[in-house]
Amino acid sequence: MAGAQLTGVRVEVSALIALAEFPDTTPRAIAGVLARLINTGELPQGARLPTVRELASELAVSPATVSQAWQALSRAGLIESRGRAGSFVRESSPGWLAPRMRGMAPPNDPVRLDLSRGTPDPLLLPALGPALSRVSVRAETDSYQDEPVIPALAAVLADSWPSQAESIMVVDGALDAISRTLGQLVRFGDRVVVESPGFPPFLDLLDVLGAEAVPVRLDEHGIVPEALARALLRRPVAVLLQPRAQNPTGASMTASRAAELARVIRSANDIDGLVVVEDDHSGLISTEGDVTLGNSLPDRVVHVRSFSKSHGPDLRIAAVGGPRDLIERITARRMLGPGWTSRMLQTILLDLLTDGASIDAVAEARRQYYTRQRALGDALRARGVAVAPADGINLWMPVLSERSALVQLAAAGIRVAAGTPFLAAADSTDASNAGRGRPGDEFVRVTVGVLREGAEEVADALATAAQHLAAGGY
């Protein structure tokens, strides 16, 4: 092989690939073997790969065959081209992203259909133009000590809140609300109950706080009461859950499940001060009813409602409500930082929540997301893929091999999110089989909400990838 003329790492990489066992020499098989070597670390980040012609010569295949394999690996985010410098194993995502968030970050390579991002369809967001035209062109604030929430918005939020919250404030997105709430509750070494699978930034946040995540398993209605009861024996200071359209599974709690979880908490011993933090991140586009443990545990529940999925991620607005003492502590600490969420942005949100056209647009988005979920879910189940009915914009799909599925779909021009970052603890009894799929399966998350058409074609590709297990177990 031409690698004999190379030096250093390039020679070692070429030799490693030359010794690899290829089940066959199709683009899919070549990509699979390289993905396994990258996944196990045998091909390290930053390693320069042989050229297309070098590997084609070694494997006795055409350069076009290797080129197709390289394209699949690039779409899966495993390798990158640096022009004339060659192809390299992709380095980690930027350091300003926390570890699990880096695992969620998609590569910048173009792809035919990106179903990995977990964001709403921009075409289904209400138009901001009319709201912007009605906002004063002058700054709304003339005092740093004004109430942090404009009164009219506070009234609208209170009227729509799922329980009687003593106090409601506005912050810069749901994760800001979760971060500030946990910052008031959690000390180094404390334990926090989390869903598994769950939202990866929550786990990153607990790591930063020095807290221990206690994962609990889910079913189609969210946290399983028996799993919560066992977790409470470890005396956590908080329970962090998503009541509707749970990310990534799409599970939504029923009112009866919420009441059952509240009974479990009330009957637990040694949990004085325990607070339930609810992240209703997809509230207004969820098809399930508004639900909270706050009706049963009013002094223990902080409820967060985000408007990113319904009105736009870049608005960066969420509301957080709960016991007055806790909300005022959060508010007071925030006054020593950003102070308040822009009152101009609050005015825009108020307009969007009360304007008839905007209300209709959100209702249509909710209907569209339901239709897209139903279409793809039904198509996958018809093809033998055991996906549970889901709410919101995401679907949690069991696969025989996560890495294999990512590569197979990349070869088809489709990107989905790897399931691993969503798992709190792979070896936890309560977290095992939490994905509501078949025992022992791995998973990927599919953002169904952006799939405007072609559900049957996409289901074909997803089902093929889900049921594929590559040689070498990558």
Write out the DSSP string of 385-441. --PPP--TTEEEEEES-HHHHHHHHHHTTEEEEESGGG-S-TT-TTTTTTTSSSTT-
Q: Is residue 71 part of a domain?
A: yes
330, 209: one domain? yes
Pick from 307, 325, 354: which residue ends a domain? 354
- Domain CATH number, residue 110: 3.90.1150.10
402, 298: one domain? no
Q: Is residue 250 part of a domain?
A: yes
Q: Is residue 66 part of a domain?
A: yes
Number of structural domains (the chain) is 3
- Domain CATH number, residue 164: 3.40.640.10
369, 438: one domain? yes
171, 22: one domain? no
Q: What is the C-alpha separation between 169 and 26, in angstroms, rounded?
A: 57
Q: What is the C-alpha separation between 217 and 389, in angstroms, rounded?
A: 17
Q: Cα dist. 353→176, 347, 359 in Å? A: 21, 10, 6
Element (H, E) at 256: helix 255-267
Average the pLDDT over 3-15 and give the result: 51
204, 256: one domain? yes
Q: What is the mean pLDDT of the chain?
A: 87
More confident residue, 83 or 214: 214
190, 337: one domain? yes
Q: Is residue 389 part of a domain?
A: yes
Pick from 319, 354, 389: which residue ends a domain? 354
293, 393: one domain? no
H helix and E strand count, the chain: 17, 15
Q: What is the C-alpha separation between 134 and 151, in angstroms, rounded?
A: 18
Q: What is the C-alpha separation between 138 and 339, in angstroms, rounded?
A: 19
188, 173: one domain? yes
What is the model's pLDDT at position 75?
A: 72
End-to-end Cα, the chain, rounded Å: 25
- Please report which confidence band the pLDDT of residue 141 belongs to, taking 50, 70 and 90 as the band edges: low
Query: What is the identity of the amino acid at 142?
Result: D
141: three-class secondary structure by DSSP? coil
Q: Is residue 378 part of a domain?
A: yes
Q: Is residue 471 part of a domain?
A: no
pLDDT digits (tens, 9 = 90+) for 373-431: 999 999 999 999 999 999 999 999 999 999 889 999 988 999 999 999 999 864 344 54
- Domain CATH number, residue 49: 1.10.10.10
Pick from 89, 110, 136: which residue ends a domain? 89
324, 376: one domain? no
61, 117: one domain? no
Contact yes or no for 243/258 (Cβ under 8 A): yes
- Please report which confidence band the pLDDT of residue 79 belongs to, taking 50, 70 and 90 as the band edges: confident
332, 384: one domain? no
What is the model's pLDDT at position 137?
A: 60
Structural domain including 229 reads 145-354
CA dihedral sign, ordered 450, 454, 456, 457: negative
69, 104: one domain? no
Please, what is the Cα angle at 234 between 189 and 222, to 5 degrees? 105
Q: Is residue 462 part of a domain?
A: yes
Q: Is residue 129 part of a domain?
A: no
Q: What is the C-alpha separation between 29 and 19, in angstroms, rounded?
A: 15
pLDDT digits (tens, 9 = 90+) for 319-347: 999 999 999 999 999 988 888 899 899 99
